[in-house]
Structure 1
């Protein structure tokens, strides 16, 4: 019996690798002779870099960068074992988690630190960069990142602008004379799990600005700034990317990566599954067990569970899902390709208790689903 265990994290309680261990322990309690292969997954957001680095037998690099408010901090990214691929999360340098609630202000924040991480990876000779852009504190269209890589943004009088959100509306010219030449041969893939355009009512400022500290006036100003950036960048760089799905991700960093890095946007789970060779592992499995903290409508739109469900369906392999909170109907689960889906909660409990007991809850729920699986196969 070949069991593939491939979950996402349970946010606030277990990292993906810990969920793997908990599920594997439940499998072995029910079926000690099972062959268990564990692959922690992520959807391109928090934790993706660590998972991809581990999968590539790589190592971590920690350097000094600027945080979203231009203060010095340490940030970490991953390198593959052969140092040819870098795994970077923009949140490590430009993330919302680096600021207090009172400090959140997308007019003032910048992705400059993310550009510093990219520059350091290029300095180390990488040929490929996988960049996760979830969790941003910024709405600067990627101009901070670009500045760290040699781009310069000028107003109508030729003055150099500080690369943050409030400068977007003032940009009249982009100076590309000092752009880092090492960008040209590098392949850059961006893990992006949203489809918003750069500006407009569904764009970066209106949809995500408020959670980054923007009031209605700031939102309107940022949206106008992103539209101005689009006009200037399209003229200067010859690419109109504002309506590409994902252009508005991470405060417009999606568009910035396409303009300034010539990057390709892909959904995060596809990148992670490709790097982990999941398709081959699924094809050889008798059962796949996955999970995440909450299975809901967002799960059905493209997270880890949805990505695996599609693969399992194509290979005719049953998929079992364990989760903390199950918020979809049986009909939705079946339509998405899930053979079995269950919450790990086995009694009424508050959130703190559920998080504290998460490991044992996941293990016990897995034990029960394995017993059910074998019963249905005539093995119990």
Structure 2
């Protein structure tokens, strides 16, 4: 009996897009057994690939845009660090009216946009994401914005985003802070005035549209499980810089509370994307959704799941954060309910795998088969993934009836 495999991975960050992972897995499977039917479904959970996934789900009305915006690190030198960010829009109903925009923080303020040696958690800003939001707000029939929060380089509490929309941050001397500041500069933030957002005919539309934040974490803005403590080390912050950022965001949060009249710091997910979530929760009462659940529902994952005998998922790295709702766990939980086995192919894994088995993953395989420099492993991603998938399928054929 011919086997049907549903291939449903996330991207391997800084190595392969989710689509490229699907292609590599499919190629490896086909080399091992050309009779296997492969169903490819590139996924995302709010990070890289979210725009592609949601536009694919609404292909009949999908529109793709590109906008030049400020990148994560700015030196104010003639747009040297500007990036061309892709975003999209589609109709959420059958009437064809394009009323929903989808944006990725990763496309404008993403960690992957900054070379490893240039990463600076104190200086990185979300200003470009704010510029993308403002572009989306120009859509005439806009009712809904979906903002994916994964993969950010910044730890600025969304201050840059607010500035791009028209807010002004002031220091103790009532002097405005410079545009596009990073998290480190928030130590000087004494007050936030977002009257400029209300006064701008474009930016002010954010108060009349539904803003949905897609993320895969539940971390608050501050504290031991907060944005800085958990995520800033990944963005290049050492222990001293982490202490600086935590103190700066604590002061910034006080200004947010003063500006909006409520404290959003401890709302689960407020720390997502370096605190971008906190800024939008405070500004326009945005709401947070599980990124993978939203994407799976939009792509009719459950219908494809019923056709599959086996599911292969994966991402670049699985660890304790993956359990909060990243792609492999979202896929495995649904597959477990449907009684379908799931195998995860990953670049690396950390910690005990028993927690992943409990969530429905049957087995985890690293695609890197020996010691390798990280840079080499990233460059060889497609070869490694494809070879691992081929070996996996050859092994399965030994146990399956011919």
- The reply to whether TM is greater than 0.5 is yes
Find the aligned partners of 2:118 and 2:370 in 1 and give their Cα distance: 38
In structure 2, the CA distance between the partners of 1:217 and 1:290, relative to structure 1 (3 Å rule), is closer
For residues 137 and 42 of structure 2, the distance between their equivalents in structure 1, rounded to whole angstroms, comes to 27
1:114 aligns with 2:129: yes
Contact 2:186/2:249 (CA < 8 Å) preserved in 1? Answer: no
* 1:243 Cα offset (Å): 0.7
Segment of structure 1 superposing worse, 324-333 or 17-26? 324-333
Counterpart position of 2:298: 275
Paired residue total: 378
SS where residue 3 of structure 1 aligns? Answer: strand
Aligned to 2:70: 66
Bigger Cα displacement from structure 2, 23-32 vs 183-192 = 23-32
Q: Deviations over 1:324-343 (max 9, x none)?
A: 44556674453231234334
Match of 2:100 among 85, 102, 105: 85
Q: What's the counterpart of residue 39 of structure 2?
A: 37
Is 2:239 the counterpart of 1:230?
no
Change (3 A) 1:135 1:157: same
Inter-partner Cα distance in structure 2 for 1:113 and 1:76: 9
**1:95 aligned residue:** 110
**TM-score normalized with structure 2 length:** 0.80
Q: 1: CA distance between counterparts of 2:194 and 2:348?
A: 50
Corresponding residue for residue 315 of structure 2: 292
Pair 1:20-2:22 in alignment: yes
Structure 1: unaligned runs, 5 residues or longer? none
Give the superposed CA RMSD: 3.3
Report the Cα distance in structure 1 between the residues aligned to 2:340 and 2:218, rounded to whole angstroms: 30
Partner of 2:266: 243
1:16 is displaced (CA, Å) by 1.7
Residue of structure 2 aligned with 1:148, choices 152, 164, 168: 164
Q: Which runs of 5+ in 2 are unaligned?
A: 92-97
Where does residue 161 of structure 1 map in the other structure? 177
**Which of 87, 104, 129 is the aligned partner of 2:145?**
129
8 Å contact 1:199–1:205 — kept in the other structure? Answer: yes
- Answering whether residue 26 of structure 2 is matched by residue 4 of structure 1, we say no
| CA positional deviation for 1:4 | 1.5
Correspondence for 1:48: 50
CA contact (8 A) 1:26 1:363 kept: yes
Check 1:323–1:357 CA distance in 2 against 1; reply closer, same or farther (3 A cut): same
Change beyond 3 A, Cα 1:276–1:234: same
Q: Of 333, 339, 342, which residue of structure 1 is paired with 2:365?
A: 342
* Residue aligned with 1:243, SS: coil
Query: Per the alignment, do residues 288 and 224 of structure 1 end up closer, same or farther by CA in structure 2, a change over 3 Å counting?
Result: same
- Between the aligned partners of 2:288 and 2:15, the Cα distance in structure 1 is 30
**Structure 1 residue 262 corresponds to structure 2 residue 262:** no
Q: CA deviation at 1:194?
A: 3.1
For residues 100 and 275 of structure 2, the distance between their equivalents in structure 1, rounded to whole angstroms, comes to: 24
3-state secondary structure, aligned to 1:80? strand
Give the TM-score normalised by structure 1. 0.84
Q: Check whether the contact 2:329–2:356 (CA below 8 A) recurs between aligned residues.
A: no
Determine whether 1:185 maps to 2:208: yes
- Supply the distance in 1 between the matched residues of 2:112 and 2:377 (Cα, whole angstroms): 23
Deviates more, 1:223-232 or 1:100-109: 100-109
1:138 aligns with 2:142: no
CA 64–30 in structure 1, closer or farther in 2 if over 3 Å, else same: closer
- Secondary structure of the equivalent of 2:133? helix
